Amino acid sequence: MTAVSSAELVLAGFHGRIASAWDAPELRAALADCAGLLQSPETHILLQGRNTVALVSIPLSGGRTARAVLKAYGQRGVDRLKSRILPSKAAKAWRGAAALADRNVGTAQPIAFLESRRRGFVDRCYFLTEHLEGLREIRFLLRELRGDVLDSLLRAAAGFLAQAHDRGVVHKDLSDGNILVRTEGVAEHAFYLLDTNRVRIKRKVGPFLRMKNLVRLGVPADRREYFLDQYGRGRPVPRRLRWWYRFQKSLYIGRVSLKKALRLKQLARKLGIH
């Protein structure tokens, strides 16, 4: 990956950046109506909820087109209030992706981001990236693989994450759904981080933060010690750090279980089940 060179993007009440490698009048015209892109018959909605994620077709110079992923962020409640003094989620996603590219850490190449503000608050914002084909979320591989094949994946993932930490990268939602894996057509596994608005860059990632940052990853319980061994890359992970990882993992599992229980209780109330 290479550093992201970009230009200012000002379109119909929106402001943002566009990657120089993708910049074209045709694309700028399409980005002036991101809402229209989402409603196009050629668009495939991948996720619909607080945020919308869609696979869209974008025009390029010379009559060419390309598939890209467009994310529209919901701006409600506290998120909207915070946007008065903080960058939009789209701006954070752009900066995070650019920081990963600068550090040669795998992610989808950022194409553009746009935001509009009303009375200083973010009203709408969008983030556009290249579409990565032939990849799977690591969550499915962690569930499906066994034996040496699983260990090969864990060894490669541990090395990727250790290298990202070495380069100052901390992903605040390093969960199974935010790591894509390419397994075909490459000599080794290739990894890509999603949800780059949650990426933070630090001068140095300390050992305790490193361990805490790994706990959201769904490594099978019987392979967690092996995973930590591989993360150490030949250097043993000290006992106190292993204890910290296990402690943080138990806290995380407890929080997830509690959230699931509360959701079930809310559903039961709605259905009138006691």
Residue 91 has pLDDT above 80, yes or no: yes
Q: Domain range spanning residue 121?
A: 6-130
Domain boundary among 108, 130, 152: 130
The answer to whether residue 266 is domain-embedded is: no
Pairwise CA distance, residues 27 & 32, whole Å:
9
The answer to whether residue 274 is domain-embedded is: no
| Contacts of residue 154, Cβ cutoff 8 Å, sequence gap at least 6 | 219, 223, 226, 227, 230
Residue 226 has pLDDT above 50, yes or no: yes
Q: What's the pTM value of the predicted model, to 2 decimals?
A: 0.89
Query: Cβ–Cβ contacts within 10 Å for residue 69, how many?
Result: 18
For residue 176, give the CATH number of its domain. 1.10.510.10
For the chain, what is the domain count?
Answer: 2
Question: Is residue 80 domain-shared with residue 147, that is, in the same domain?
Answer: no
Residue 79 has pLDDT above 90, yes or no: no
Q: Is the dihedral of CA 68, 193, 76, 95 positive or negative?
A: negative
Residue 139 has pLDDT above 70, yes or no: yes
pLDDT score for 125: 94
Query: Cβ–Cβ contacts within 10 Å for residue 183, how many?
Result: 17
The answer to whether residue 24 is domain-embedded is: yes
Question: Is residue 116 domain-shared with residue 169, that is, in the same domain?
Answer: no
